[in-house]
Structure 1
């Protein structure tokens, strides 16, 4: 392991205190410091409790500033917001107070990243019901990050090697998602996808664009969105120098991409892109790996590709693989920038 100053400084948010976030943070910490210099944004008391749940020999140290993070594999450095009452903490439940706490971690991390105090952000899972109870109108991290950084053109990229996918839309009803498949929206997504792939070290990325309708509309037999909206967007992207193809039949393009034909697939809506990723990343009904990247932002943000898993919170059995991979991707993108 290199010196602390040689590694990107990554703010890791703790996530919902009642979920598995604190456990995966401490469980994966020794691996995380191999790739980055982490500083956890969270509650020190909850993290100490998580080390006991996971039976780990780790110290938790409060720091006043991210620059104090040491990259010591035996010491979890945390910017302690001290906003959870450990004595009353009830794991596995939706609670307004826990939603407010998890939002505070994300807000602080965004502030640090936009101020240049950290090189990247990696987020542990929050619970949408809890954050809604706390007054948030955001469906998740993505919209919040975009608003806080005044970003208009952004997308979600999911990475589960050997597959990467991005999305024209995510957390909206399917009827609304179809209406969002416009030439401009598709083109914007292709553009930010190409830029993000270059941030990941891919010099000449090949981007496949999935069709909206079965068989990419079959020449107009199954709808007109593919010919009227997606195809023109792909053509404009190609004219701009992006190696894009499509619209491709959505029932085969993901297999082709996983086999190495493309570096990423632009998906038209949430489930179209998520289902193939989840098929690769789930084991026994639980996400064990995979990374979520918000692309198009002025800051680097990655996340685990799983939720708060309230059903196993407090049992010390949650896998930290997704968090470790997310920090690795964050460090890679920060170095590229």
Structure 2
């Protein structure tokens, strides 16, 4: 791993959510490990600074080349797409959904052009972005589409537990249909690449089953034998250290104890629930990191939402944002 000091772009997230304030708070702790630029609205970031009672100023810029990267200054690439005279916290608005998507699109372009080394995203609100006309359920599909990637996955990280997903934001009936040998194998591939970004030279991967007890020898369904087993066997023949399908009710405990570096989950809740049991169990804080694996650019994110109910109060924990910045730094250096 190199000692390169990464240049990261933090997207502000929904202007009405907690993304602004957690970005401010995280900057206070993370400015020593990376050069940070917030991609967002400078006026809203100034409001967030007042809420958080910080002692540094906003440097509104129009290009990455104008950033100062000084400890007492937060560089904000000002997209200037929020009416500050009519701005409120905790509001579900079409214009806020549109604004948050624009921050992500700008950051992707900066990363693709090499102006920044990676992206760290604050939360957007799926209802707001759909009101604005987005077809994507969140960041991940937009990132993949804009970078021209077909095979990718969401990797969630909490302490020793890491999980990736064959599918995420789709109905459960559809998720079962997406458990195919090809999809499972593709997820194993991008999981291995993502783990290498995190510094695992020879990662160990477990693949969770779809059905209870991984179908229990065919007693509880045939998807595990017909779709997952062939994917695992093909990956093993290619030299990947992977096992499965493993019973979903025990494999996450085994991984959290260090027996595996990552678990490939078959659908959203199968992977999210164990991660959030760990990350949401800490009083007063929400931790955990979401990293998109399979992209040509580094992207990490917080593992929580916009929290409209507490936005603007200055009480949101920056723990997940700080963790996301640290993971992005690690991934940039390993690449």
State whether residues 29 and 73 of structure 1, in contact with CA within 8 Å, keep that contact through their aligned partners in structure 2.
no
Corresponding position: 1:129 with 2:132: no
Aligned with residue 275 of structure 2, among 250, 274, 277: 277
Cross-structure match for 2:212:
214
Aligned with residue 12 of structure 1, among 10, 13, 25: 10
Separation in 2, partners of 1:322, 1:68: 28
Cross-structure match for 2:159:
161
Separation in 2, partners of 1:6, 1:211: 39
Aligned residue-pair number: 333
Deviation at 1:68, TM superposition (A): 3.4
Cross-structure match for 2:327:
329
What is the 5 A alignment of 1:106-255? 106-255=104-253
What is the CA RMSD across the aligned residues, in angstroms? 1.3
Question: What's the secondary structure of 1:328's corresponding residue?
Answer: helix
Deviation at 1:287, TM superposition (A): 5.9
Which stretches in structure 2 are left out of the alignment for 5+ residues? none
Deviation at 1:336, TM superposition (A): 1.2
Deviation track 1:50-75 (CA, whole Å, cap 9, x = no partner) reads 01111111201112322333332321
Separation in 2, partners of 1:290, 1:190: 21
**TM-score, normalised by the number of residues in structure 2:** 0.97
**TM-score, normalised by the number of residues in structure 1:** 0.97
Which stretches in structure 1 are left out of the alignment for 5+ residues? none
1:272 to 1:285, Cα distance in 2 relative to 1, 3 A: farther
State whether residues 167 and 189 of structure 1, in contact with CA within 8 Å, keep that contact through their aligned partners in structure 2.
yes
Aligned with residue 25 of structure 1, among 4, 23, 26: 23
Question: What's the secondary structure of 1:308's corresponding residue?
Answer: coil
Question: What's the secondary structure of 1:272's corresponding residue?
Answer: helix
Corresponding position: 1:102 with 2:67: no
Separation in 1, partners of 2:237, 2:248: 23
Separation in 1, partners of 2:182, 2:212: 22
Deviation at 1:248, TM superposition (A): 0.2
1:90 to 1:285, Cα distance in 2 relative to 1, 3 A: farther
Separation in 2, partners of 1:290, 1:209: 21
Separation in 1, partners of 2:69, 2:269: 38
1:273 to 1:14, Cα distance in 2 relative to 1, 3 A: same
State whether residues 209 and 244 of structure 1, in contact with CA within 8 Å, keep that contact through their aligned partners in structure 2.
yes
Say which is worse superposed, 266-275 or 83-92, in terms of deviation. Answer: 83-92
State whether residues 4 and 333 of structure 2, in contact with CA within 8 Å, keep that contact through their aligned partners in structure 1.
no
Deviation at 1:135, TM superposition (A): 1.0
Deviation at 1:175, TM superposition (A): 0.2
Question: What's the secondary structure of 1:108's corresponding residue?
Answer: helix
Question: What's the secondary structure of 2:248's corresponding residue?
Answer: coil
Separation in 2, partners of 1:196, 1:20: 28
Deviation track 1:221-250 (CA, whole Å, cap 9, x = no partner) reads 000000110011001111111100000000
Cross-structure match for 2:61:
63
Deviation track 1:239-286 (CA, whole Å, cap 9, x = no partner) reads 111100000000000000000000000000000000000000014787
1:315 to 1:295, Cα distance in 2 relative to 1, 3 A: same
